[in-house]
């Protein structure tokens, strides 16, 4: 329960991790991997005070964190570019800004594919913490 609530200490509107500074991201990765290893393997999997050194495992976690964030951002921008361009063309055609409120609500439809993609890819985090190989299948 604790590990799942710590997956996103800071979230932006894409629903993916966003950190105020680099140190927070590095501490988060060390803490998340420690938490996954404790929950999935047991107490003997980490030192008494948790993981305190940076290894290849943490670098892989950081890389996948960035990759999943970029994928979700790309989906958001591609879907919303359609709706925003439609709203701009409606404004140029003479539509009132008040009539665009309904169109603006459609931009929230971008969250459906983002949530789907993120839920499919989020299983990679525990696999990385356990040093398992990740297949693209």
Domain ranges for the chain: 2-129
pLDDT at 2: 40
Report helix angle 56-92 to 22-40, nearest 10. 120
Give me the pLDDT at residue 77, please: 84
Predicted confidence (pLDDT) per residue in 31-71, tens digit: 888 888 888 888 887 777 777 788 898 888 888 888 888 88
Whole-prediction pTM: 0.67
Q: Note the pLDDT of residue 4.
A: 41
Strand partners, 11: 17
**pLDDT tier at 104 (50, 70, 90 boundaries)?**
low
* Structure confidence at residue 136 (pLDDT): 58
CA 68 to mean position of chain CA atoms: 6
CA 69 to chain centre: 5
What Å distances lie between residue 136 and 36, 56, 124, 133, CA to CA? 21, 20, 10, 10
Which of 20-29, 71-80, 89-98, 99-108 shows the lowest mean pLDDT across its residues? 99-108
């Amino acid at each position: 329960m604790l590990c799942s609530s710590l997956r996103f200490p800071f979230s932006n509107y894409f629903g993916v991790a966003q950190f105020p500074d680099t140190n927070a991201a590095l501490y988060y990765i060390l803490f998340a991997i420690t938490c996954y290893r404790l929950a999935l393997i047991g107490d003997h999997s980490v030192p008494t005070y948790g993981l305190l050194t940076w290894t290849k495992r943490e670098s892989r976690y950081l890389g996948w964190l960035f990759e999943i964030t970029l994928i979700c951002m790309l989906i958001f921008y591609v879907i919303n570019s359609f709706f925003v361009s439609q709203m701009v063309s409606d404004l140029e055609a003479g539509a009132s800004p008040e009539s665009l409120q309904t169109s603006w609500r459609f931009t929230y439809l971008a969250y459906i594919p983002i949530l789907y993609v993120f839920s499919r890819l989020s299983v990679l985090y525990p696999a990385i913490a356990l040093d398992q190989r990740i297949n693209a299948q």
